[in-house]
Structure 1
Amino acid sequence: MELQIKHVPYNSPDYWQMVALRRAILRAPLGLDFTPEQLAVEGEDYHIGAWVGEDLIGCLVLEPLANDILKMRQVAVRPEWQGQGVGTALVRYAETFALQLGYRKLVLHARETAVSFYLRLGYTVEGEPFEEVTIPHRLMYKWLT
């Protein structure tokens, strides 16, 4: 498997592929979809995608929160590629990308089912569980070095 990970411009064909993947994996199973308003504000975000050949198999979004803090969100990997290092590669790429842009901290709202994944990557849980998009989440963070 030759995995290619790259930053994708907002509103490009690759961006819309990523929106479709995020919708299928993260939203549709919960009976949710994106609103035009939610997608319209993503122009300020960084969009990272993972491909094998021509196939988009994973993606994530980095949203600037402050001068040195990014929120990682909408991390999605096609089910048939989960457990094969794609998510880890995406997160590691995002961390390096963030550092290169001068960010020092990543924060995220992890689904309860993904907390152990982020713990293995060096993230820390903060606070109590909370509900977001109808399911339990945890606030997590990592200082980048």
Structure 2
Amino acid sequence: MFSNLTLRKIIAYGSEDYDQALALRDSLLRRPLGLSLYDEDLSGEKDAYHLGIFKGPELAAVLVLIPKDSATLQMRQVAVSQPLQGQHLGAKLVAFAESFAATQGFTRIVLNARQTAEAFYHKQGYTTVSEPFVELGIGHVKMEKALSIEN
């Protein structure tokens, strides 16, 4: 199932891989809402960690980790290419992101999950810490997870 899949620790901001990440995030997370990621100010992403899974040269899954403070990262924009959904790539990438974050000295990850993805994050060990709220016109909840050295 995972043959010729490669975890790439960091996708460099402004690289061809970053352009693939933007296209994947836009097609799965913004266009279905009638929005465009390219209309947003992405300059803050220079300081973020962009993690991906590649199938050969093609990006299969991506997520963004944004430092909030010295201990906390915010996970955003988790997206898995539609043909590869259902193969646990999201869970694999989240686990990799947690391990990566811990090695960088971070102890907590927070995120705003779509309510439709809340059960997925519960399975990854995240706890819901808010009542539902609306963001980009759809229901979300705030979630978090404390990281340990073993992550």
Shorter-chain TM-score bucket reads over 0.9
Q: Partner residue of 1:121? A: 124
Q: What secondary structure, in the 3-state scheme, does the structure 2 residue paired with 1:15 have?
A: helix
Q: Partner residue of 1:3? A: 5
Q: Partner residue of 2:23? A: 20
Q: Report the TM-score when normalising by structure 2.
A: 0.92
| Cα displacement (A) at 1:81 | 1.0
Q: Partner residue of 1:67? A: 70
Aligned-partner Cα distance in 2 for 1:66–1:72? 13
Q: 1:51 aligns with which of 45, 51, 54?
A: 54
Aligned-partner Cα distance in 2 for 1:66–1:37? 23
Aligned-partner Cα distance in 1 for 2:40–2:79? 21
| Cα displacement (A) at 1:35 | 4.5
Question: How many pairs are equivalent?
Answer: 145
The farther-off stretch of 110-119 and 33-42 is 33-42
Aligned-partner Cα distance in 2 for 1:42–1:21? 16
Letter of the 2:22 counterpart: V
Q: Partner residue of 1:140? A: 143
The farther-off stretch of 27-36 and 115-124 is 27-36
Q: What secondary structure, in the 3-state scheme, does the structure 1 residue paired with 2:106 have?
A: coil
Letter of the 2:95 counterpart: R
Let me know the Cα RMSD of the aligned residues.
1.1
Among the aligned pairs, what percent are the same residue? 45
- Structure 1 runs (4+) deviating above 6 angstroms are none
Name structure 1 gaps, 5 residues minimum.
Answer: none
Alignment deviations for residues 76-99 of structure 1 (CA, whole Å, 9 cap, x no partner): 001221110100111011001100
Q: What secondary structure, in the 3-state scheme, does the structure 1 residue paired with 2:7 have?
A: strand
Q: 1:104 aligns with which of 103, 107, 110?
A: 107
Q: What secondary structure, in the 3-state scheme, does the structure 2 residue paired with 1:84 have?
A: coil
| Cα displacement (A) at 1:39 | 1.1
Alignment deviations for residues 47-99 of structure 1 (CA, whole Å, 9 cap, x no partner): 01111112211100000001100000000001221110100111011001100
| Cα displacement (A) at 1:42 | 0.6
